[in-house]
């Protein structure tokens, strides 16, 4: 049995605009571990959303996969079945989307239809995917899920989205993503608009879903603090590249890639020494005008001559971590 559920193989994604083409994702090779939570961390424009939404072909227009494959490993009776998702036509994608891979969006407000009750939306999705037409069973299924995310099912089912608070809407969205028992849920900044207390609840809930239902998850976020608590594996993205990938503890302890180190050092916390924090100098890369060599080199405090020559290729280590830095192997800021 393959330990990955999704594999990105040298995936590049382009946005052809009128005058030029922007490469939002460049040559990403990444395996999403089955049953685990993988976080993709990056700032705006780093390509994390584009990469994740390419799985279910939800890249915003006019983006398209320029090269590479996305492979989904279906596990039927202990036997692996390889499905190349990126080659799917819209007709093939339709049953796959939501049934195998579902998504929780950042803005729950706009993901729900404002003129339909929660129940109508749930039932519509069930019908669209050819599920049981028995009204009784449908309702029971909805209720079960809403109660699972700790909502007052009876009340919520008959509510319109505007009658629910932000945290409740996000939990409805989570229940909604569970509706067809998917194998993988993509979480797109699920708590950005929410308060810390609600955020804490949501992440505990998601962690519980991950453990109890054994659903794999991809979390996209710009906030490295939530990653530490929530994820098992972390991929750090910068300028469309996957600059570092590894186990959550390795990422935080070893900080092999200078960008990862900078990001962690630039993130304030409620504990620890404030004076040790320092910002990353410079500004995020302009995708239309990328620097020569390693794209982080203009901001990198450790940049050497070799860094501004050619772009470093991916370096893989034995412990499964990998990164795009000439000194990836040597750099180990290990805290014991």
Partner 1 sequence: MAENKPTQTEVVSEQPLMRLENINMVFKKSNGLLTDKHIHVLKNINLDIKQGEIIALVGESGCGKTTLGRIITGLLQPTSGNIYLDGTKVTGTFKKKITSYNQVQFIQQDSYAALNPVRTIYDSLYAPIKTHNRKWSRAQIDEKIEELMSLIGLQPSSQFLTKYPHQLSGGQRQRILMARAISLDPKLIVADEPVSMIDVSLRLSLLNLMKKLNEQLNMSFVYISHDLSTTRYIAQNGRVAVMYLGEIAELGNIGDVVHQPRHPYTRALIQAVPIPDPDFASYDELPLKSMNLGSLENRTDGCCFYDRCLYSTDECKISVEYQDTPTARVLCRNLGCVPNQPIYKQKQK
Residues found near partner 1 in the complex (CB under 8 A): 43-44, 165-167, 195-201, 203-204, 207, 222-230, 248-249, 252, 262-264, 266-274, 277-281, 283-284, 335
Structure tokens at 152: 């007052």
Q: How far is the CB of 278 from partner 1 (least distance, A)?
A: 7
Choice between 72 and 230, CB closer to partner 1? 230
Q: How far is the CB of 71 from partner 1 (least distance, A)?
A: 29
CA 296 to CA 326: how far, in whole Å?
Answer: 12
Pair 217, 206: CB distance under 8 Å: yes
Choice between 183 and 250, CB closer to partner 1? 250
3-class SS at 257?
A: coil
Measured at the CA of 125, the angle between CA 122 and CA 126, to 5 degrees, comes to 85
Q: How far is the CB of 72 from partner 1 (least distance, A)?
A: 29
182 Cα distance to chain centroid: 15
Measured at the CA of 126, the angle between CA 204 and CA 75, to 5 degrees, comes to 65
Choice between 25 and 280, CB closer to partner 1? 280
Q: Name, in order, each residue with C-beta under 8 angstroms of 57's C-beta and a sequence gap of 6 or more.
A: 85, 88, 90, 93, 97
> What strands lie across the sheet with 4-16, from one edge to the other?
21-33, 4-16, 64-76, 79-84
Choice between 1 and 197, CB closer to partner 1? 197
Q: How far is the CB of 271 from partner 1 (least distance, A)?
A: 5
Question: What beta strand segments (E) does the chain contain?
Answer: 4-16, 21-33, 37-41, 64-76, 79-84, 101-104, 184-188, 216-221, 233-238, 241-247, 315-316, 322-323
Choice between 74 and 147, CB closer to partner 1? 147
Q: How far is the CB of 73 from partner 1 (least distance, A)?
A: 28
Q: Name, in order, each residue with C-beta under 8 angstroms of 10's C-beta and a sequence gap of 6 or more.
A: 27, 28, 29, 67, 68, 69
Choice between 85 and 215, CB closer to partner 1? 215
Pair 315, 304: CB distance under 8 Å: no
Which residues share a beta bridge with 80?
75
Q: How far is the CB of 316 from partner 1 (least distance, A)?
A: 22
Q: How far is the CB of 42 from partner 1 (least distance, A)?
A: 9
3-class SS at 46?
A: coil
250 Cα distance to chain centroid: 19
Q: How far is the CB of 168 from partner 1 (least distance, A)?
A: 8
Choice between 91 and 336, CB closer to partner 1? 336
Choice between 180 and 251, CB closer to partner 1? 251
């Amino acid at each position: 049995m393959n330990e990955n559920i999704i594999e990105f193989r040298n995936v590049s994604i382009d946005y052809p605009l009128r005058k030029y083409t922007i490469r939002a994702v460049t040559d990403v090779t990444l395996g999403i571990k089955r049953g685990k939570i993988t976080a993709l961390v990056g700032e705006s424009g780093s390509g994390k959303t584009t990469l994740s939404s390419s799985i279910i072909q939800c890249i915003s227009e006019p983006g398209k996969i320029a090269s590479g494959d996305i492979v989904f490993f279906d596990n039927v009776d202990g036997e692996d079945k390889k499905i190349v998702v990126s080659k799917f036509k819209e007709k093939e994608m339709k049953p796959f989307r939501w049934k195998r891979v579902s998504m929780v969006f950042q803005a729950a407000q706009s993901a729900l239809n404002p003129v339909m009750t929660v129940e109508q939306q749930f039932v519509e999705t069930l019908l669209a995917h050819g599920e049981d037409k028995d009204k009784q069973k449908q309702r029971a299924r909805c209720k079960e899920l809403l109660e699972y995310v700790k909502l007052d099912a009876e009340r919520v089912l008959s509510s319109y989205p505007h009658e629910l608070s932000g945290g409740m809407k996000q939990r409805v969205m989570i229940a909604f993503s569970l509706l067809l028992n998917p194998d993988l849920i993509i979480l797109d900044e699920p708590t950005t608009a929410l308060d810390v207390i609600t955020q804490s609840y949501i992440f505990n809930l998601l962690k519980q879903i991950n453990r109890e239902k054994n659903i794999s998850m991809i979390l996209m976020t710009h906030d490295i603090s939530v990653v530490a608590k929530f994820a098992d594996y972390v991929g750090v993205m910068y300028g469309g590249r996957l600059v570092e990938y590894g186990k959550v503890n390795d990422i935080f302890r070893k900080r092999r890639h200078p960008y990862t180190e900078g990001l962690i050092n630039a993130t304030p916390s409620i504990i620890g020494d404030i004076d040790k924090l320092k910002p990353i100098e410079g500004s995020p890369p302009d995708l239309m005008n990328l620097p020569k060599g390693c794209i982080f080199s203009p901001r990198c405090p450790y940049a050497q001559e070799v860094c501004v020559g050619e772009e470093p290729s991916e370096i893989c280590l034995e412990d499964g971590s990998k990164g795009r830095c000439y000194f990836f192997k040597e750099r180990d800021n290990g805290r014991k």
